[in-house]
Amino acid sequence: MRLTVQVWRQAGPAEPGRFEQHELAALSPQLSILDLLDRLNESLVDAGREPVAVESDCREGVCGACGVTVDGRPHGPQGGLPTCLQGLASFADGATVSIEPLRSAAFPVVRDLVVDRSALDRLIQAGGHVAVDAGTAADANALPVPTDVAEQALDFAACIGCGACVAACPNGAAHLFAGAKLLHLADLPNPAQERSRRALEMTAQLEADFGPCSLYGECAQVCPAGIPLRAVAAVPRERLRSRFRR
């Protein structure tokens, strides 16, 4: 299998970027897009050139670090999969594949395909946590949680924080991410004690770093964790609820 790869090169945040074209041959359709970038970097290093900076960690679809934009779509052509699990079988032999960073004003480019996703970290710092002093939490089995509540919390906790939802949104909104965090914690016994504070602080941070929700739903279409679009509705709902439950 042969592919023409157009990869984004950018030396730093303040430097201009450009696409750089490379031809790669003898590729297996079973390889992933990250494997493709590994092959490209091997050829660049062998030629004495600077490899393409790309972020990755687990390569098992868990960490979310590997997110890039492939042919204009966050992660790649296969819906519901992170970049590391997107196979080359999706591309025809001889095709041209464009690979660039996740595009959003909230994610400035650090170098090549690596972006700064600190804006998502600030959302978590604002309220995506439980403020319980060490040693004071009740034993896990002392707080019964209905099965349906626990299952819903786990479903929304599946978000891997890759940022694809932000890159897919025309307005650069992070409502799917924020909504998943709010719903993950809203009905569980200990986190529910801070539900109103969490909603106010997270929505304030959301408005500070990200754009307004466009209501188009592109975010859910590219989410590798399968977070449903109804998570978006949790953001205004939780904020409105907090106004009456202070």
Residue 177 belongs to domain with CATH number: 1.10.1060.10
Q: Looking at the structure, tell me whether residues 211 and 240 fall in a common domain.
A: yes
pLDDT at residue 61, as a whole number: 92
pTM (predicted TM-score): 0.92
Query: Are 86 and 194 in the same domain?
Result: no
Q: Are residues 239 and 121 in the same domain?
A: yes
- Domain carrying residue 158: 117-244
**How do beta strands 3-10 and 96-100 pair?**
parallel
Instruction: Give CA–CA dist 104/91, Å, rounded.
Output: 26
pLDDT digits (tens, 9 = 90+) for 149-204: 999 999 999 999 999 999 999 999 999 999 999 999 998 988 888 999 999 999 99
Whole-number Cα distances in Å, 161 to 86, 97, 166: 18, 25, 10
- Helix or strand run (H / E) with residue 120: helix 118-127
Q: How many CB atoms lie within 10 A of CB 163?
A: 22
Q: Are residues 181 and 127 in the same domain?
A: yes
User: Are the CB atoms for 237 and 195 separated by under 8 Å?
Assistant: no
**Whether residue 94 sits in one domain with residue 24:** yes
Residues 216 and 234 reside in one and the same domain:
yes
pLDDT of residue 100: 98
What single string gives the DSSP state of each residue in 158-208? T-----HHHHHSTT---HHHHHHHHHHHHTSTTGGGGHHHHHHHHHHHHHH
- CA–CA distance, 108 with 122 (Å, rounded to integer): 15
